[in-house]
Chains A and B, each alone.
Chain A
Amino acid sequence: MSKGAREDTRLVRSCRQGDIEAFSQLVSKYQDSLYGIAYRMVGDREEARDIAQETLIKAYKAIDTFDLKRPFRSWLYGIGTNTAIDHLRRGAKVNDISIDAAFSPTVREDGAVATGVGAEPPDLRADNPEDVTVAREIQEIVQGAICRLPENYRAVIVLHHLEGMTFGEVGKAMGVPRNTAKTWAHRARGMLCETLEGVM
């Protein structure tokens, strides 16, 4: 078990004894990842915020059920992806972003040229403004394509590519065998290739 994982286990033990400060430290450590996962899965900042918050509340309530031998990260991300999938299945506003829309440039208030994708892209750090615009557009296009994938494919892509989890870890988080996670990722990438054909 890594140092980070051991620290997580220590914090979880403290949480179980009612130490809310310990949980606060876990929130600080994982809030960006959870928000990022949720955002990549639903493509909407407000929904992502709600999903990430709900995930942490669920984790706190279920902290006694967590198996201390498992990595806390996988367990937490599993709750996060399941919460996002439930959210999508409940028929909440699904950001079905068309690829065509991504090519309809508009001018934002700050004067920057933006594409028509509903989700606002992250701030990109680059010296050349043109590079920033291109990188942003590519990210928006890819984000739009991810939002058109089936929910479980989205989760695998996000956990593997964004969070850098191995397929074994992704499988544990999603409650499926490692090979299933790998197959889903392969199919998802195939679907992304078809969607993005001619674009990239």
Chain B
Amino acid sequence: MRAVVRALDDMQRIPAPDGFHEAVIARLMLGVPVEVEVEVEEESHGHRGLLMFAGAAGVGVGVAIGVAAWRYIAGHDRDEKMAAIGSA
């Protein structure tokens, strides 16, 4: 038993291989961009939503202007017709 204990206590420590530290840090750094990418992706989702909202608002404003113009022109024609009928 004593010889075994002595042999165990004499076991040499083995250093980590060359490049071990760099490999660990590289693996960690590889993990970080994944999270950043997720954030960027979420950000781009946000931009897309904002663009869609602006586009819809633009279309709405355009339609409103169109309707107003159409009503203005239609009303103008009607006034002219009424004036023509009145003069007749």
Give me the interface of A with B, judged by CB distance under 8 Å.
20, 23-24, 27-28, 31-36, 39-40, 45, 49, 52-53, 56-57, 60, 121-122, 124, 135, 138-139, 142-143, 157, 161-162, 189-190, 192-193, 196, 200
Known contacts A27-B21, A40-B11: A49-B16 contact under CB 8 Å: yes
What range describes how many residues of B lie at the interface?
A: 20 to 34
Interface of B is mostly: helix
B7 at the interface (CB under 8 A from A): yes
A-chain residues with CB within 8 Å of residue B27 when the two chains form the complex? 53, 57
| A31 and B14 contacting across the interface, CB-CB below 8 Å | no
B86 on interface, CB distance cutoff 8 Å: no
Please give me the residue from chain A that is nearest to B17 by CB atom: A49
A35–B24 Cα distance when bound, in Å, is: 12
Which chain B positions have C-beta within 8 A of A45?
17
Considering residues B9, B16, B28, B32, which has the most beta carbons from chain A within 10 angstroms of its beta carbon?
B16
Given A32-B16, A35-B17, A36-B14, are A57 and B24 also a contact pair (CB < 8 Å)?
yes
Given known pairs A33-B13, A35-B15, A49-B17, the reply for A27 and B25 (CB within 8 Å) is yes
Cβ-Cβ contact count across A and B, 8 Å cutoff:
86
13 further contact pairs, Cβ within 8 A, besides A27-B25, A135-B10: A33-B13, A35-B17, A45-B17, A49-B17, A57-B28, A60-B28, A139-B11, A142-B8, A157-B8, A161-B8, A161-B11, A162-B11, A196-B4
Which A residues touch B8, using CB under 8 A? 142, 157, 161-162, 189, 192
Question: What is the distance, in angstroms, from A190's C-beta to the closest C-beta of chain B?
Answer: 8
For residue B17, which residues in chain A have a CB less than 8 angstroms away from its CB?
A: 35, 45, 49
29 A/B residue pairs, CB under 8 Å, sorted by A = A20-B25, A24-B25, A27-B21, A27-B25, A31-B16, A32-B16, A33-B13, A35-B20, A36-B13, A36-B14, A39-B14, A40-B11, A49-B17, A52-B16, A52-B20, A53-B23, A53-B27, A57-B31, A121-B12, A139-B10, A142-B4, A142-B11, A161-B5, A161-B9, A162-B8, A162-B11, A162-B13, A193-B4, A196-B7
Q: Give the shortest distance, in Å, between B15 (CB) and chain A (any CB).
A: 5
Residues of A within 8 A of B13 (CB): 32-33, 36, 122, 162
Q: Once the chains are docked, how many angstroms separate the CA of A159 from the CA of B30? A: 31
Q: What residues on A are CB-neighbors of B29 within 8 Å?
A: 20
CA distance A28 to B27 in the complex (A): 15
